Amino acid sequence: MASVTLKNIKKNYTKDVTVIKNVSLDIQDGEFVVFVGPSGCGKSTMLRMIAGLEDITAGELYIGDTLANDVHASKRGIAMVFQSYALYPHMSVAENMGFALKLAGTPKAEIEERVKKAAEILEITHLLERKPKALSGGQRQRVAIGRAIVRNPKVFLFDEPLSNLDAALRLNMRVELSKLHQELKTTMIYVTHDQVEAMTLADRIVVFHAGLIQQVGTPLDMYENPSNLFVAGFLGSPKMNLLEAEVIAASATEATVKLPKGLTVRAAVDASNAKVGDKVTMGVRSEHIRLVDAGTAEALPARVDLIEHLGDIVLAYIEIPGINQILCVKLPGHMTGLKYGDDIHILFPREETHLFDAEGLAFKRVR
Amino acid sequence: MAMSKNVRQALGLTGHYSGLILFAIFTTFPFLWALASGLSADASKMYLFPDGFWPHDASFMWFERVFQEMPFLTYTKNSAIMSFFTIIGVVVVSVLAGYPLARMKFPGRGLIFVAIIATMMLPSEVGIVPNFITLKNFGDFGNWIQESLGLGSSWNMREWIGLNSYFGAIIPNFAGAFGIFLMKQAFEAIPQDLIDAARVDGATEMQILWKVMVPVTAPSIAALAIFTLVNAWNDYLWPSIVMNSKEKLPLAVGVFNDLTGPFATSDNILMAAIVMTVVPVLVFFAFTQRYFISGMDGAVK
């Protein structure tokens, strides 16, 4: 087991094409860290640099206390699970799992024992003699994970390992990966573009965007206190509702903003740096928007555009007259009475309203 | 008038099959003719149509005569040795040349590939004179080594690597643009993840090549082996130039030298010899064709 430390890591493919701009990060021993971000944000490249499959243009990578920049992939003490599984098609499952040990010159008996032990953990003992082509997608994924476990690595690297599985299987494997981490207590770095995987698996999430780390934190902290607009929009499903607004009053505990058509909303944030007239973006998550009676103070009028019944919850897509933007409201599953065209009133709770400045940076929430 | 569906279907199928049958006849008739002639003790009908296409007075007489008229087994042994080592040589060269062209980045890679492909545009006859001179020099070199080491003339090292050697008869065929191109394409089709996985597992570049890439490209290698076998087995011109002792001739050259020309016994014996020449290739193909179909299944996704 080992920690992983990134110091000012940069990656250029050519002089002009920079995919990782300047990344510094400390990953603790035994931590489960998830790199998340949209396609092309550099998260996979970062992982491949840690694995030793891409050169590091500048900066320092430490695995444990060792500077690993120029250490060969096989000598870094890492094991990697690929999105495509990358099983050797001409070898049986047991041979696939034991390949690294065989290359390292491990005695045959020990290879067999370690393969057997890993197979038991993953419940694939009955598949050991089969070739990859005789396995289902989920089984192949287990073998790929088994191949990593057998090596007894200091750090596990996962590159979107669940992307090729169907939804039900993905859920299963997610739970199993969590269990595996509990059991092995090895440092794990996991890349995904799926924010649900990130939220459920991670001890800490690292959000990447355009080659930079946007925010690092625990899943709940990131969800409740996104540091900028990108993180706010990326984490959470449905996405956070974001509206353009203008500051009309600001203090250290509260800001009042004006939406088009003269509607005002108050947010509990430290807006001491904001000035009246500043352009800002107001954000509120779908589950925090409240349905209220017409007479309630600060209630905003709205109209229902679409209703989606998901069983446990109802998603209502609504529009505030004068603001050309659809907002999503998450309501309890029993609220089946709403229908298209209904006039309703909503309230953005002051404590749950986020505010972002013109640069997209969040004002600190006051609670 | 509308035809019923069954009639139309039957007409379509008839057209389909008659096309296929015609094509089959077109491709197999030389062999069938040779087989029928070889099996006919009555030689008079050979050039008659359609009588030439089935045996008259069937017997294996001509096949037996082949063994009496020429050292058929010696020639077969020579062809087998030369084809075997040609296949080994071509596969090794093609794999070692195709892998870096497909998977490694180095300056001049594109140019080298174009140069290799450009050799396909040249007729093979262009190489005859330079190759002949090179081989003569090889032989002189062998002789020089023999003399330098003070070995007796019975060693005859000139004929190990020079003219009139197995080595000389096959070495120009080792580096073929076709094989390099085929293996390059095969290596390019392998997903990068598989190579990365092997690299993480601790394989060196050579181990990646021989333990992962080569087994995964087995179908392409099998195809290359078959093509090479057919070419090497049928190679006539070059061995006929290089080889001058009868006991080293391959089948194609031996059959031509011994059974054709003004003093040839009969065309039927030639046909029998041709049929016997083709059979080993067919047998080899029958045993290797299953390797064509198994491939990348299960590696990724």
Q: Which of B103, B194, B200 to mutate to test the interface with A (most CBs of A within 10 A)?
A: B200
Amino acid at A229: L
Q: Are residues A164 and A202 in the same domain?
A: yes
Residue A235 forms part of a structural domain:
no
Q: Are residues A258 and A138 in the same domain?
A: no
| Cβ contact B202–A100 (<8 Å) | yes
Q: B201 to chain A: which residues are within 8 Å by CB? A: 74, 99-100, 103, 147, 151
DSSP conformation letters of B107-154: TTHHHHHHHHHHGGGS-GGGGHHHHHHHHHHHHHHHHHHHHHTT--GG
Q: What CATH number did the domain enclosing A330 receive?
A: 2.40.50.140
Tell me the pLDDT tens digit for each residue of B158-182.
888 889 999 999 999 998 899 999 9
Tell me the pLDDT tens digit for each residue of B253-263.
999 998 887 77
Cα separation, B24 vs B34, in Å, equals 16
| Cβ contact B298–A82 (<8 Å) | no
Q: Are residues A110 and A176 in the same domain?
A: yes
Contact of A208 with A43, CB cutoff 8 Å? yes
Mean pLDDT value across residues A225-235? 93
Residue tagged 């045959």 (tokens)? A108
Q: Shortest CB distance from A86 goes to which of B197, B202, B295?
A: B197
Superfamily of B71-249 according to CATH = MetI-like (1.10.3720.10)
Mean pLDDT value across residues B202-223? 90
Tell me the pLDDT tens digit for each residue of A287-345.
999 999 888 888 899 999 999 999 899 999 999 988 888 999 999 988 878 888 889 99
- Distance from the Cα of B203 to chain A's closest Cα (Å) equals 7
Whether pLDDT at B301 is above 60: no
- Strand partners of residue A328: A317
Half-sphere exposure of B170 (CA within 13 A, CB side): 26
- Measured from the Cβ of residue B2, the count of other Cβ atoms closer than 10 Å reads 6
- Hey, what are B53's tokens? 């296409």
- In this predicted structure, what is the pLDDT of residue A241? 94
DSSP conformation letters of A200-227: HH-SEEEEEETTEEEEEE-HHHHHHS-S
The answer to whether residue B196 neighbours chain A at the CB level (below 8 Å) is yes
- In this predicted structure, what is the pLDDT of residue B2? 62
Task: Specify the 3-state DSSP secondary structure of A339.
Answer: coil
Q: How many domains does chain A have?
A: 2
| Cβ contact B298–A132 (<8 Å) | yes
Which among B203, B223, B179 has a CA at the least distance from the CA of B89?
A: B179
Given A174, A205, A230, the domain boundary residue is A230
Cα separation, A276 vs B264, in Å, equals 111
- Hey, what are A351's tokens? 């404590």
Q: Are residues A208 and A67 in the same domain?
A: yes
Whether pLDDT at A110 is above 90: yes
Tell me the pLDDT tens digit for each residue of A239-263.
999 999 999 999 999 999 998 888 8
Given A230, A252, A282, the domain boundary residue is A230
- In this predicted structure, what is the pLDDT of residue A294? 85
Task: Specify the 3-state DSSP secondary structure of A121.
Answer: helix
Phi, psi of A317 (to 5 degrees): -100, 120
Residue tagged 């008739």 (tokens)? B29
- In this predicted structure, what is the pLDDT of residue B293? 54
Query: Would you list which residues of chain A are within 8 Å, Cβ to Cβ, of chain B?
Result: 48, 51-53, 73-75, 78-80, 82-90, 99-100, 103-104, 131-135, 137, 140, 147, 151, 164
Q: Shortest CB distance from A89 goes to which of B193, B202, B297?
A: B297
Establish whether this prediction's ipTM goes over 0.95: no
Instruction: Write down the pTM of the prediction.
Output: 0.81
* Domain span including residue A171: 4-230
Angle separating helix axes B61-69 and B5-39, nearest 10 degrees: 50
- Where along chain B do its domains lie? 71-249
